[in-house]
């Protein structure tokens, strides 16, 4: 009897993980996320989107331009990855900041497509392992020399995500300015 209770609890935990476990932190509903979008900056026109590259091309473009990199590790089944795509990545200010200041890369964390990483060919799945991705979505930021800055696990609405983009694009992290101090300097929270 004790075995059956343990097995039932384990099955329930697995079900809940797959039902709600696409991300590692709290989610926000699509309706709330859509309400966080700001008015479009003049340079972003309707229909414009983020200029995504694959890992190999994106890293080469970063080396060529000296821009920092944002890598979005996603899966095809993750509902918070889809929410990020349909809300945060549709925000005009996020689009503008990413297109102007970053090389944006998408990686299917369960994909078998080959990418070049430090001169060797590996799968996207293996690349996700090298970045220690364990929840989805996970966003990694690299500096202009392609060194890791840090990651953002889980879904974030544009109102939370865009300030992180401007923080990294400004280079404040490289000057030792903490994100909270950076936000205070801008009059943010």
What is the residue whose two structure tokens read 């929840």?
A: 135
Looking at the chain, which runs of residues are DSSP E strands? 52-53, 69-74, 103-108, 114-117, 120-123, 138-142, 148-153
Say if CB 95 and CB 87 are below 8 A apart. no
Q: Give the residue extent of every domain in the chain.
A: 47-185
Q: Calculate mean pLDDT across residues 14-22.
A: 34
What is the chain's mean pLDDT, rounded? Answer: 81
Could you tell me the two tokens for 166?
A: 């401007």
Element (H, E) at 9: helix 2-20
pLDDT value, residue 38: 35
What is the residue whose two structure tokens read 């190999």?
A: 56
pLDDT value, residue 11: 35
- Using pLDDT thresholds of 50, 70 and 90, give the confidence band for residue 188: low
What is the rounded CA–CA span in Å between residue 79 and residue 101?
Answer: 27
The superfamily (CATH) of domain 47-185 is Glutaredoxin (3.40.30.10)
- Tell me: pLDDT of 42 over 90: no
pLDDT value, residue 161: 98
- Using pLDDT thresholds of 50, 70 and 90, give the confidence band for residue 41: very low
Q: Calculate mean pLDDT across residues 82-95.
A: 98
- Tell me: pLDDT of 1 over 70: no
């Amino acid at each position: 009897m004790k075995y059956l209770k343990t097995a039932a609890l384990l099955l329930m935990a697995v079900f809940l993980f797959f039902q709600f476990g696409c991300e590692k932190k709290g989610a926000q509903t699509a309706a709330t996320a859509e309400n966080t979008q700001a008015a479009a900056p003049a340079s972003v026109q309707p229909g414009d989107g983020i200029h995504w590259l694959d890992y190999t091309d994106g890293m080469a473009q970063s080396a060529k331009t000296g821009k920092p990199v944002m890598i979005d590790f996603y899966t095809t089944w993750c509902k918070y990855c889809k929410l990020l795509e349909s809300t945060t990545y549709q925000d005009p200010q996020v689009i503008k900041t990413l297109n102007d200041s970053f090389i944006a890369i998408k990686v299917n964390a369960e994909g078998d497509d080959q990418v070049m990483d430090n001169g060797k060919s590996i799968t996207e799945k293996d690349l996700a392992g090298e970045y220690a991705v364990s929840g989805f979505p996970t966003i990694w930021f690299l500096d202009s020399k392609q060194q890791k800055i840090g990651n953002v696990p889980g879904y974030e609405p544009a109102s939370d995500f865009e300030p992180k983009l401007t923080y990294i694009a400004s280079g404040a992290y490289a000057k030792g300015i903490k994100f909270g101090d950076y936000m205070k300097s801008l009059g943010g929270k």
